Structure 1
């Protein structure tokens, strides 16, 4: 029986730069950083209060996925406050937070140009 999502993969061009972004700017925890072949490492990071992590890895032949909308949404307690905190440390956003009937959200870009949605908790 499936219990949970272990990780989602985020394609990256520069693993060192991506690791620094997720750990230093977003405050994620490094779970593993292991050699994986001659040109890449298997890197997993996780939000400090989350169960699901991100693998910062690009399968060979999938480089065109880098810098796209990921379809991944991460949750925070206060979108406006988190937006301001992340903006202050250099995180890029598509536009300021937007309030919708279903909740407030903002689209951020990681160090590789990948877009993730930041939304409020329930």
Structure 2
């Protein structure tokens, strides 16, 4: 049996502002923006080429046995790209405040690209939810 990660809830304060950020600035595809029940709105967006989406929601109660996550507290969601510098250029062009490309060196984080699997950049959405972008070998994108 396969277990696939399909949707990650991203807590936000302003649904329209977050939708604009993820669609217009981060380049995610808007898959759904609908009131699925009275007072319950869900916006689902998918990064280019990904099978996993994010969901922004308003009015939905927490699932039984879980707690709601506060906006801005989701950290470390990771996207992979085959060209970290091109990804950074695209985000900057779209108006995203993004870190320089960095790699893990012998004494901590260092500027510039590293070896395979060791090139990263970071950015935050308007609520402070933090994202990491990592360069992955291009042969993995063919899976």
TM range (shorter): 0.7 to 0.9
Q: Does 1:96 align with 2:100?
A: yes
Q: Hey, what does 2:28 align to over in structure 1? A: 28
Contact 1:10 1:70 in 2 (8 A): no
**Residue number in structure 1 paired with 2:112:** none
1:70 aligns with one of 70, 75, 100? 75
Q: In the alignment, is the contact (CA less than 8 A) between 1:29 and 1:48 conserved in 2?
A: yes
Higher relative contact order (CA 8 A, sep 6+): 1
Structure 1 regions of 5+ residues with no counterpart? none
Which residue of the partner structure matches residue 119 of structure 1?
A: 134
Structure 1 residue 69 displacement after superposition: 4.4
Equivalent in the alignment of 1:41: 41
- State the alpha-carbon separation in 1 of the partners of residues 68 and 7 from structure 2: 18
C-alpha distance in structure 1 between counterparts of 2:41 and 2:90, whole Å: 30
How many angstroms does 1:121 deviate by?
1.7
Tell me the equivalent position of 2:140. none
- Structure 2 Cα separation of the partners of residues 34 and 118 of structure 1: 29
Q: Distance in 2 between matches of 1:86 and 1:48?
A: 13
| Aligned position for 1:87 | 92
* CA distance in structure 2 between the partners assigned to 1:113 and 1:105 by the alignment: 18
**In structure 1, the residue corresponding to 2:18 is in which secondary structure?**
helix
Per-residue CA deviations over 1:39-94 (Å, capped at 9, x if unaligned) read x511110012110000112666736x21234221011121122112212322123x
TM-score by length of 1: 0.83
